[in-house]
Structure 1
């Protein structure tokens, strides 16, 4: 009976977001509306969408499990992520908005290429290759995560659960494009916020009513769990800090599924509203996720769950009535779908806008491009589904690759393009290529166990970008003066 009520709550949620997708599909589409919503979406909606997409299942499953396993030192991962997201909205969003209006760019690669007079097509080509390469696998990671959660909850065949989530992603992206994705992401962002607020409150009450102590539990568990520094000093402490804090470096405009939210801003007023929304969402959500890990450890002990990343679903099922569990578990699936459909939009726009239209210069009508975009949605989704079937280790592995190979690499490009006048088009290409190569090498060797590729990629890409800009400068200034 309990599982039936939980399932009913989740089905209701899926019907709501599918209904929203159907609603937006009724609006007449053109190329700009499909890719960026014609910049008419409210700032607070874009902010909820950006945070839901940027946090995704790694916050609800990954970070809660990481806190459960490591204790107080996990806080630096939350601080790095929240601070990176807030600074991006305060510091970079306005520059994205202004430059997008000047050049009418619809994608991150086009946005970057339009700031340079040289090697535009090569920038588009290399950017598209890197983004599509990582994001097809990244999409597979989301599908695998969704299947894992539904399998753990209901015991269903994981292939069936992955296919269901793939189908939902296809429908949402296929019907309404960017507008549909953003508005459904907003609903999912609210649901994630509720999950990360309600569960910690209930868990803290249980800790209090059972006369338990979080402080005592952390001390008894040992292994530096009760230390904000993990009980480490010197170089070991520096490694822990950089590894946990390193998500910070990937938020500076380098994640195309997040940067498009900045590009879609209508005006500065909407940006300010969005910034306040992000500060509120990040503060509540990261605090809640941190408390879930600590209270979960206190209530169930370090051996309370077989898979630490399942601590939140376990707490939802154990601490809440079935009807509420169905709603809150939907928040976890929501996070996965949020990232999945946003990644689909990135792949679609990269192939159709940056490759077909930008690199190869093939002139197609808006309706033809829309038709190709929808075909790309289906093909990319099915490829992601195949990747999800390929290996059980896909989720953790590919998220790490994508964060370094795409997020940190393109963050370097954005920062140098915005704030360094001597950055050249060859420097851009060197940044992107070195980011791709160094990520693959770094994460495939024992080096990643010492210093995460999320940090090393940023540094290596920065060094190559600067060096090659000095060696191969562009013949004349290429950056828009308004951004300097």
Structure 2
């Protein structure tokens, strides 16, 4: 890439970072208490909530991981997208409205641990503490993976030293998360989500026009890379086994337990806005998944050389197809994807540390203003730990992401989902479910061969749900807790 092109792309990146910092300052002026900082005062319009949930969820995976998988494995990688799309639709339609109502009615619970604690009227803080522990455990690696991806982006585009690139990306994320909290994160996520959509539509569209239409583009793919054009076969022509398909579809289960996504359900302006938000989320994700798969496949039509690293296909296509100024905008979409997830996860982690550990164990009389200060200091502290983890350039981003996604989905998904629908669920059942889900992911990850090759989220989710039901049956649900749940159900 020429020096001129690098300068144009750098100018675009600076303009993008300046815009999101302006949003952060605006949100800072509107942040007055913990509810504002952690949930934006529950005032998000439905489209904002949906786009924010999608952008904070997808991260660089949508622009790097999925196109890379499609480039290397073809249409068989689309099973992951099918599972994720189902998870998005089901989580919005089954959980979002109830979670919005329940968390508000239960003394404005701001976090998942606080909701579960109040849902079961626990007389001790052990459930909140266990939940906060697993959030911090998995999210620290999740945030670090985003910083790793950002470092590799700057290293690839600008030739920066990797470690300085990580630090620069972390500084940008910390700045607007620190000042504006949830409002800054959510509104920047809207901008970032739209930019991601633009990138995933623009790149395939240019290729389709160049090749003379969609039908001709797919026809050329069938001619040049026929081994990649089968849903039920891998790139080597081998039939996909049941384990491979179930592992891909199981990714969708993660949506039920991701705290940074559940926070968007809690923050939507009104329970009546949920159907609109669900529709926006479904359309946005469908466009994104289809565009990402097209980017990966079309790389075989436009690039002269085979890429050793398939995750570079989006960047390579952008450099080949677009003017440097436009390329800068589209490459900023990668930065958007990375930052939109890292900021949300950092904020949820700081909420767990401030609300569910500090407030519970050390600051029962803490004022709302002090809680915001604690949350901001938590952002800085957690970000520094994540930076320390990310400074190792040998870290594998996708492995860390899949591990954290499974851990959070299995630890919290069954507990939150069942708590919204079963009045006889008990606090002891919730503790058992969280612990069994999280520990199963950790243990299953270390095993291999046979059934242990299945993605750990699926068995961990099943074991967690089973533990919740069995322990809840054995223990007695207090009458007042069951009665209050039935009242909330209406």
* TM-score interval for Structure 1 and Structure 2 normalised by the shorter chain: over 0.9
2:398 matched to which residue of 1? 396
TM-score w.r.t. length of structure 2: 0.93
1:312 matched to which residue of 2? 314
* Cα deviation digits, residues 371-402 of structure 1 (max 9, x gap): 11111111111111001013523412221221
Structure 2 stretches of 5 or more lacking a match? none
The number of residues matched between the two structures is 481
Distance 1:229 1:215 in 2: 19
Distance 1:476 1:30 in 2: 34
1:201 matched to which residue of 2? 205
Distance 2:383 2:36 in 1: 21
Matches within 5 A, 1:57-96: 57-96=60-99
Secondary structure of 1:241's match? helix
Q: Does 1:255 align with 2:261?
A: no
* Cα deviation digits, residues 131-164 of structure 1 (max 9, x gap): 0111111111110011111111121111111111
Secondary structure of 1:390's match? coil
Shift of 1:469: 2.1
Shift of 1:420: 2.6
Shift of 1:68: 0.9
Shift of 1:459: 1.7
Distance 1:369 1:230 in 2: 53
Q: 2:40 touches 2:183 (CA, 8 Å); kept in 1?
A: yes
Q: Does 1:151 align with 2:144?
A: no
One of 203, 224, 229 as aligned partner of 1:226: 229
Go from structure 1 to structure 2 and tell me whether the alpha carbon gap of 1:207 and 1:116 turns closer, same or farther (over 3 Å shift): same
Q: 2:73 touches 2:228 (CA, 8 Å); kept in 1?
A: yes
Matches within 5 A, 1:165-244: 165-208=169-212, 214-215=218-219, 217-218=221-222, 221=225, 224-230=227-233, 236-244=240-248
One of 308, 328, 331 as aligned partner of 2:330: 328
Go from structure 1 to structure 2 and tell me whether the alpha carbon gap of 1:235 and 1:130 turns closer, same or farther (over 3 Å shift): farther
Secondary structure of 2:125's match? helix
Secondary structure of 1:478's match? helix
2:168 matched to which residue of 1? 164
Q: Does 1:460 align with 2:468?
A: no
Q: Does 1:348 align with 2:371?
A: no
Distance 2:240 2:193 in 1: 36
Go from structure 1 to structure 2 and tell me whether the alpha carbon gap of 1:147 and 1:468 turns closer, same or farther (over 3 Å shift): same
Distance 2:326 2:192 in 1: 16
2:489 matched to which residue of 1? 483
Q: Does 1:135 align with 2:139?
A: yes
Distance 2:22 2:430 in 1: 42
Distance 1:313 1:150 in 2: 12
Distance 1:98 1:200 in 2: 41
Structure 1 stretches of 5 or more lacking a match? none
Distance 1:408 1:173 in 2: 27
Which 10-residue stretch deviates more, 70-79 or 187-196? 70-79
One of 452, 477, 483 as aligned partner of 1:474: 477
Distance 2:425 2:207 in 1: 51
Distance 1:331 1:311 in 2: 14
Q: Does 1:16 align with 2:22?
A: no
TM-score w.r.t. length of structure 1: 0.94
Distance 1:76 1:336 in 2: 23
2:44 matched to which residue of 1? 41
Distance 1:150 1:310 in 2: 13
CA RMSD between the two structures: 2.3
Shift of 1:313: 1.0
Which 10-residue stretch deviates more, 440-449 or 141-150? 440-449
Q: 1:388 touches 1:394 (CA, 8 Å); kept in 2?
A: no
1:444 matched to which residue of 2? 446
Distance 1:415 1:160 in 2: 42
One of 6, 9, 27 as aligned partner of 2:9: 6
Q: Does 1:52 align with 2:58?
A: no
Go from structure 1 to structure 2 and tell me whether the alpha carbon gap of 1:168 and 1:154 turns closer, same or farther (over 3 Å shift): same
1:411 matched to which residue of 2? 413
Go from structure 1 to structure 2 and tell me whether the alpha carbon gap of 1:23 and 1:371 turns closer, same or farther (over 3 Å shift): same
* Cα deviation digits, residues 71-101 of structure 1 (max 9, x gap): 1112211111122112222221110111122
2:382 matched to which residue of 1? 380
* Cα deviation digits, residues 407-444 of structure 1 (max 9, x gap): 23211111211223332211111111111211111112
Distance 2:467 2:223 in 1: 45
